Amino acid sequence: MIDINAQQDTQLPLDSLIEYALKSNSFYMSYQPIVSTSNSKLIGFEALIRNRINDSRLRPDHLIPHLERTGQIIELGSWILKQCLVDYKTLESYGLKDFTMSINVSPIQIIDHDITIEISNLINELGISAKNIKLELTETALISDCNKIAKSFERLREMGIKVWLDDFGTGFASLSLLRQFKVNGIKIDKSFISNIATDNDDFMLCSAVIAMAQRLNLELIAEGVETPQQLQILNCLGCENIQGYLIDKPLTLRDVINKWRS
């Protein structure tokens, strides 16, 4: 194994750093709570990958695109999927009930790797209800390989798994694509939420997205909610669910158990 501490004068190449992180179990999952705007009831968690190595290149916004380019996303994605479902089962054993687990997946995992078989095997092995699992993909996934993505979405729906669009409003999704792929829900990107109370354009965009979701019978989550004022506006607009630092930061599995099982 690579000795990362021995790299003193030169920066370790990114591929080698990723290899080290995988082999040394430096990656771990954290879970950010999602709650209902009407009664603050916990409805689920979004799984977010983190690492114990202090290197900015391993931040998800840098790491994931690199892994997608190299194909390594399949290996890491399989690890994420299994870890999330194992942790879901652990949370159930501590008394958490009727909650969902939202897992981010890359279109590469669908196009170049049959993720539906992998998920089916894990769900059956662990005894997890498929209806409590959500897969989140960015809007760009819908234009990657339309036919294969659509067929995979159909198989996932047949299994009972829900498919969501993440960071809605930042990509290329259109109403026709939402209808064609029959997604179950959308998440409003936090970049539109941060100024919803002060920027009329962001307010109008969020209002339009929420109204569209209601008319298309789509579930909805607003990301990045940080202030009571943002929550009040979203609640008035009819946004069903939120996540963000106003509710809680992403937590380790142990912290989730300690803070949310009651």
Note the pLDDT tens digit of each residue in 199-235.
Answer: 999 999 999 999 999 998 999 999 999 999 999 999 9
- Burial call 231-243: b when 16+ CB within 10 Å, e when fewer: bebbeebebbbbb
pLDDT band per the 50, 70, 90 thresholds, residue 134: very high
pLDDT band at 178 (very low <50, low <70, confident <90, very high): confident
Q: How far is CA 252 from CA 92, 95, 256, in A?
A: 15, 17, 6
Arithmetic mean of pLDDT, 63-82: 91
Confidence of residue 168 (pLDDT cuts 50, 70, 90): confident
The model's pLDDT over 84-125, given as tens digits with 9 standing for 90+, comes to 999 999 999 999 999 999 999 998 898 888 889 999 999 999
Report, as an integer, the average pLDDT of 150-171.
87
Residue 174 pLDDT class (50, 70, 90 cuts): low
pTM of the model: 0.91
Q: Is the predicted pLDDT of residue 8 greater than 50, yes or no?
A: no
Of 115-124, 141-150, 182-191, 252-261, which range is least confident?
141-150
- Average pLDDT (182-209) is 93
Mean pLDDT of the chain: 89
pLDDT at 55 over 80: yes
Between CA 124 and CA 5 the distance in angstroms is: 41
- Give the pLDDT of residue 3: 52
Report how far residue 65's alpha carbon sits from residue 150's, in angstroms, rounded to the nearest whole number: 22
pLDDT band at 195 (very low <50, low <70, confident <90, very high): very high
Name 2's Cβ contacts closer than 8 Å, sequence gap at least 6. Answer: 12, 16, 19, 20
Six token digits for residue 98: 């009727």
pLDDT of residue 62: 87
Q: Model confidence at 185, in pLDDT bands (50, 70, 90)?
A: very high
**For residue 11, is pLDDT > 80?**
no
The per-residue pLDDT for 9 is: 38
What 232-237 contacts at long range (C-beta under 8 Å, 24+ apart), as own/partner pairs, is 233/196, 233/197, 233/203, 233/206, 234/37, 234/193, 234/196, 234/206, 234/210, 235/37, 235/38, 237/206, 237/207, 237/210
| pLDDT interval class at 23 (50, 70, 90) | confident
Q: Is the model's pLDDT at 6 over the cut of 60?
A: no
